[in-house]
């Protein structure tokens, strides 16, 4: 008797299909077993016999960008990093500390009180802190511990420089995404394999410089001279605050919804004279909506 094969559906807890997620679960269990740890997998995490949980979302995202043949090694490296003892500041020499300190973007709610009095707010709920990136592992020492370890080192400045360097040299992978019914249509996805990818939002100008120059981009991706950003208030505010926006497209609908999420966050504007002003603007009607074309630089 033959049955029709059920369509592959996405796994609700991970960015994988059900079949891919089941394979990942087997690889994770095997890798932990080889490390002498017995785990049970529950959707987007695994739990060992002591009750310690290991998240699987980042691992699943990393596997989704690799060929199936590469998955066992990706999982093995990830699990090895998870179960290996984490070094302390005392274990690292000065040269390693200087080269591996980076700024990291974190939800403010994750930081204990007084963890880093110098943490800079990026948005209402995100801050940048100094982290020690060791590749497969990362340290998040309190600010006092960093100053005690190297009191004369300008930690934030060094960490910002290292993150900027990462923006220029991070290996990138390219994938073309298009619907089956229209293979000639679609878009290009450029992915970086680092836990610091999200933190590169702190160095947007370096990322845009790299795209514009075409340095180190995957084959098939040439220099990018124009980027359309459809973003929430966090990214929109960061781009505007760093003077990286040339043109704004702003839709206004004939509806009132009351209080909601702001389109742009705080830009540090204290007086109307300091507000960002368009050097040129025009309006366009799109259905019932009005579309503002605002140019912050001459077109």
pLDDT tens, position by position, 20-47: 999 999 999 999 999 899 999 988 889 9
Count CA within 13 A, CB hemisphere, residue 278. 13
**Average pLDDT of the chain, as a whole number:** 84
DSSP string, 20-70: HHHHHHHHHHHHHHHTT--EEEETTEEEETT--EEE-HHHHHHHHTS-GGG
Residue that is written with structure tokens 């100008």 in the block: 205
**Residue 170 token pair:** 């991070």
Residues 85-95: pLDDT tens digits? 778 888 889 89
Positive or negative torsion for Cα 32, 36, 42, 46: negative
Claim: this prediction has a pTM higher than 0.85? no
In the structure, what pLDDT confidence band is assigned to residue 12 with cuts at 50, 70 and 90?
Answer: low
The pLDDT-based confidence of 119 (bands split at 50, 70, 90) is: confident
List, for residues 219-235, the tens digit of each pLDDT value. 777 788 888 888 788 78
Q: Say what the pLDDT of residue 1 is.
A: 36
pLDDT at 201 over 60: yes
At 109, the pLDDT band (50, 70, 90 cuts) reads confident
């Amino acid at each position: 008797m033959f049955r029709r094969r059920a369509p592959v559906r996405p796994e609700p807890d991970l960015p994988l299909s059900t079949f891919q997620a089941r394979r990942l679960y087997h690889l994770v269990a095997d890798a932990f077993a080889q490390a002498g740890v017995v785990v049970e997998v529950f959707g987007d995490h695994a739990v060992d016999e002591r009750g310690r949980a290991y998240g699987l979302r980042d691992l699943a995202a990393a596997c989704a960008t690799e060929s199936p043949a590469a998955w066992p090694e990706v999982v093995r490296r990830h699990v090895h990093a998870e179960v290996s003892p984490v070094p302390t500041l005392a274990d690292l020499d000065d040269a390693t500390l200087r080269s591996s300190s980076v700024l990291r973007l974190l939800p403010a709610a994750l930081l204990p009180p007084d963890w880093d009095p110098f943490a800079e707010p990026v948005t209402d709920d995100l801050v940048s802190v100094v982290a020690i990136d060791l590749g497969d592992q990362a340290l998040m020492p309190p600010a006092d511990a960093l100053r005690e370890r190297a009191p004369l080192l300008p930690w934030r400045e060094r960490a910002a420089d290292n993150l900027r360097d990462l923006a220029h040299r991070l290996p990138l992978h390219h994938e073309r995404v298009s619907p089956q019914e229209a293979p000639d249509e679609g878009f290009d996805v450029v992915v970086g394999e680092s836990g610091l990818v999200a933190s590169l939002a702190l160095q947007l100008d370096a990322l845009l410089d790299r795209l514009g120059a075409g340095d180190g981009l995957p084959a098939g991706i040439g220099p990018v001279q124009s980027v359309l950003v459809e973003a929430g208030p966090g990214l929109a505010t960061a781009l505007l605050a760093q003077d990286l926006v040339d043109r704004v497209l702003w839709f206004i609908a004939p509806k009132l919804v009351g209080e909601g999420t702001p389109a742009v966050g705080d830009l540090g504007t204290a007086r109307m004279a300091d507000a960002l002003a368009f050097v040129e603007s025009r309006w366009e009607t799109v259905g019932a909506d009005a579309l503002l074309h605002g140019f912050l630089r001459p077109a």
